[in-house]
Chains A and B, each alone.
Chain A
């Protein structure tokens, strides 16, 4: 083994050591970069999760608050008496009404009960209810062609039974309603009749005329099932 050879060996060993050190540095650098990338991924992932949770939380808050008090503020439904809309039935008042869907607003109706106007995007399932139902859902059912009979909570039981017999058909809503200025009110989209007695023949005339009417039902052909509420 000559000095040249030894020198070559030394050189080779030194090169190898250098290369090993370099490989080590590269590996360490890669490890640092990988750690940093993992940290970034976790950060971004966490941020995305926070945003997603926030959005979902917001949606949940909207849905939950919808039952207690909507988050979108108050809105007075745009509804006006329409003297030019006549009825073949004596005592019926005609109205024009706005129709937008307002899922997040507390909608205030100036008619008692309402005859139309902005309403919730989900409708009330047609049928007989022994407790009051929410205006915003019932108005949507009117838009679909329902006739809504409302009665004072103090109405005599035999009168309520007569109304229930009338409401045992499709596209009929029946519910008690506080604060009306008549014992019984019959309402379709844009038309309303106030009566004192369930035997008043105008009740049946109103139901026959305005329930699912191609001229007065805004969403003629829409359903009165698949919404909210569990009628008896």
Chain B
């Protein structure tokens, strides 16, 4: 009887599981949008400031928000990769913390740019908002092997501390302790450059919300670097 019940449960699980899948995928968006020629002409997508005295398009505040979004996005991706690559709960918790925190912060920075009436992105090179002191603070030990200062030129997607495509591919290919070690190495480099960027924003931004978040990043990521160095040492790397 137990076996029969198990068999019935198994069939039911398969059937309901499939029904659930198809229910999820069947409808996930707007209904067909009909042409509306009689509707008034609008120009959606042209940003407008919704706060007084917003930072300018070339300000430290805007540059920090735009560049740190991209910088954070890669950290989120690395965290997801290592969570797929290892069962180690400490590393998975750290990765969860980094992914959820940095994704939340990306959303905060997107919100600022929208309120300031600025575009989310620019075709100008990254890191132009950094001060000379900030840039020099980032050189040396904050750079990953093979990365060189000064700031990336047009068409170079990598800001300081960011992993190359080859490094990301390598992280994806690794499992277990090897994945943990690679993740820790890449994320320490990533965080150190992120801290230098955030410190420069803390020193030079004009907006309270920017300074507050930048200060939080400096503190949290500095602390996480220390934790990751401990984890790395525990793995003999």
Interface centre among A41, A84, A220, A232 (most CB of B within 10 A): A84
Contacts of B146 in A (CB 8 A): none
Q: Is the beta-carbon distance between A168 and B27 smaller than 8 angstroms?
A: no
Q: Are B32 and A211 in contact (CB under 8 A)?
A: no
B77 and chain A: residue at smallest CB distance: A225
Judged by a CB distance under 8 angstroms, whether B18 is at the interface is yes
Q: Does A170 contact B43, Cβ atoms closer than 8 Å?
A: no
Query: Cβ of A99 < 8 Å from any Cβ of B?
Result: yes
**B123 touching A204 by the CB < 8 A rule?**
yes
**Please, how many angstroms separate the alpha-carbon atoms of A78 and B110 in the complex?**
30
Q: Please name all residues of chain A whose beta carbon is closer than 8 Å to the beta carbon of B122 when the two chains form the complex.
A: 208
Interface contacts (Cβ under 8 Å), in number, total 141
The one of A44, A52, A215 in contact with B44, judged by C-beta atoms closer than 8 angstroms, is A215
Query: Within the complex, what minimum Cβ distance (angstroms) separates A88 from chain B?
Result: 5
- Of the four ranges (under 10, 10 to 19, 20 to 34, 35 or more), the interface on chain B belongs to 35 or more
B11 touches A78 (CB 8 A): no
Interface string of B20-50 (1 = CB under 8 A from A): 0000010111111111110111111111000
CA–CA, A191 and B43, complex, Å: 11
B165 to chain A, nearest CB (A): 8
Q: Which residues of B contact A78 (CB under 8 A)?
A: 32-33
Query: What band does the interface of chain A fall in when counting residues whose beta carbon is under 8 Å from B?
Result: 35 or more
Q: A170-B70, A170-B73 are in contact. Are A88 and B29 (CB under 8 A)?
A: no
B120 close to chain A: CB less than 8 A: yes
* Residue from B7, B11, B30, B119 having most chain A Cβ neighbours under 10 A: B7
B9 to chain A, nearest CB (A): 9
CB atoms of A87 and B110 under 8 A apart: no
Which B residues between 98 and 137 are near A, CB-CB below 8 angstroms? 106-107, 110, 114, 119-123
Interface members, chain A 99-127 (any B CB < 8 Å): 99-101, 103, 118, 121
Query: CB < 8 Å: which of B11, B33, B77, B80 contacts A97?
Result: B33
Q: Is A85 an interface residue (CB 8 A)?
A: yes
* Residue interface mask A187-225, B partner, CB < 8 A = 1: 000010000000000001001111111111010110101
- B11 near A169 with CB under 8 A, answer no
Query: Taking A84-B41, A226-B80 as contacts, is the C-beta distance between A101 and B25 under 8 angstroms?
Result: yes
* Nearest opposing residue in chain B for A45, CB measure: B7
Closest CB-CB distance, B210 to chain A, in whole Å? 19
* Residues of B contacting A121 in the complex (Cβ-Cβ under 8 angstroms): 25, 28
Contact B36 A166 (CB under 8 A): no
Does A71 have its Cβ within 8 Å of any Cβ on chain B? no
**CB <8 Å contact, B33 and A168:** no
The answer to whether B33 touches A98 (Cβ under 8 A) is yes
Q: B residues bordering A, Cβ < 8 Å?
A: 3-4, 7-8, 10-11, 14-15, 18, 25, 27-37, 39-47, 69-70, 73, 76-77, 80, 106-107, 110, 114, 119-123, 154-157, 165
